[in-house]
Amino acid sequence: MTTVLFADRDGSSLAPLSDVTVPALFPIRSAPALERTLEALVSSGIRTALCVVGPRAGEVERRFGKGIRWGIALEYVRREESESPGDVLRRLEQRLDGETLVVRGDVGTEGAISGFVSAVESRTEPVVAAVASGDRARPLGLWRIEPQALKKVELPREPADPGWALAKDHVPLALDVEAKPLDSLAAFWRADRGAEASAVSPRATVGPRARLKGGTSVAEEAVVLDGAELSGVTVLPRTVVPSGVKLADAVVTQNRVVDPETGAVTRLTDLLPSAAGRAPAPGVGSRLAALVLLVLSIPLWPIALVWSAIANAGHPTRPYRFAGWSPGGRREVRTFRFETGIPLFRDLPLLLALLSGTLALGGVAPLAPEEEAALSEPWGKVRLEAPPGLLARSRMVSPPAAPPEVARVVDAFDARRGLPGLVPLGLSTLFSARAFSAPKAWNPDQLPDQG
């Protein structure tokens, strides 16, 4: 029997969340829906699958690789824009060995897989479809197809469409499960909320003084900072929830806060505190700190120079420009950085800007002058209320794969709330792997016990 795993939904019924994340990667109790499906397949004794992916195939392939981490061998098949699931199966017919198990891995009904795989062994009908015992009219996204039925079989793709129903030649197999396909924002949010206990991905970061309650779920590559309070909130990947934010019964992705029942969209930055006034000038303390740090860093400069020269074929530095502080506002500062992926070495020259007073010890992340000038949204311009700083929370906590908007959100909250805890955070970062190595990309083909 060959397993064909579909993960090609575009998720139009899940907009606006599907604009940033494909349904296969929507978190169910902090892990992607497709990962839950893979775990269920492996538990049912299935070790290989053809995985059908759609127009945004790269997102799925990068996340799941060859399936080694889950003990299943995945081979990807690209679905053409005009192809139906039945068209894909017919194109793959020569690669299908006997019976075909079709599993839709992006609808959140993985809890039915084990029961279906066991129960279907004794069935002989051409097409058998799993249904919940309480709702025999709607499929669960699981089918067993005999070879002779492939010529004309058609399967639905989107649970929100009227076509998500059993065809005349589909024989229902009722399973005693409580499973509802992810056919709306509300259905997704309820599935992710699950029990009242919170769920946090091992690849997420939650501050020790953040409060998670009421079934909150924090997905991988997401950060919840100290002082945030979340109740019944789903935090999607590559999102940072700033300190002081209080949310309930919502889905958060980057700067969007989505009401799962109505689909209404607001922004995290709508929760910004009132303006704190004019940006404070970098004080004498910043310059004294710069002098001390510069003296302490002297042994590192030749190491950074040689390291960068070796890594970049004799070109150890590159020009660097940023919008620095001046008494009248921002002004362009020209300096350089070492050409290396090691943050500590790369940013050593910024100590010179700190010593000159154009950079504060703590503040918002420095931006190129044209980037800062291009900020058109009022919330983006809030960063002008704080000086650019060597230590910027957004640079130390934002997930490496997050879009620039996420760091800008953190900067906006820091500009309005002040900059407490930046020095301890900077020291902890200095003595962590983050200071001495480039961000390590997720490797889906690395076994879990290898880190």
State pLDDT tens for residues 256-285. Answer: 999 999 999 999 999 999 987 666 777 788
Quote the tokens at residue 142. Answer: 């699981």
Rounded Cα gap, residues 260 and 257, in angstroms: 9
Q: What is the pTM of this model?
A: 0.92
Quote the tokens at residue 160. Answer: 């929100």
Q: The tokens 């709306």 sit on which residue?
A: 184
**Of 116, 122, 270, 251, residue with least CA distance to 186:** 251
Quickly list DSSP for 294-343.
HHHTTTHHHHHHHHHHHHTTT--EEEEEEEEEETTEEEEEEEEEESSS-H
Half-sphere exposure of 259 (CA within 13 A, CB side): 6
Cβ-based neighbours of 132, under 8 Å, separated by 6 or more: 112, 138, 140, 174, 175, 177, 178, 179, 180
Q: Can you tell me whether residue 58 is helix, strand or coil?
A: helix
State pLDDT tens for residues 203-244. Answer: 999 999 999 998 999 999 999 999 999 999 999 999 999 999
Rounded Cα gap, residues 37 and 126, in angstroms: 24
Quote the tokens at residue 188. Answer: 């997704």
Answer for the pair 224, 205: CB distance below 8 angstroms, yes or no. Answer: yes
Q: Per-residue confidence at 76, pLDDT binned at 50, 70, 90? A: very high
Half-sphere exposure of 438 (CA within 13 A, CB side): 7
Q: How many other C-beta atoms lie within 10 A of the C-beta of residue 450?
A: 7
pLDDT at 395 over 80: yes
Rounded Cα gap, residues 116 and 144, in angstroms: 9
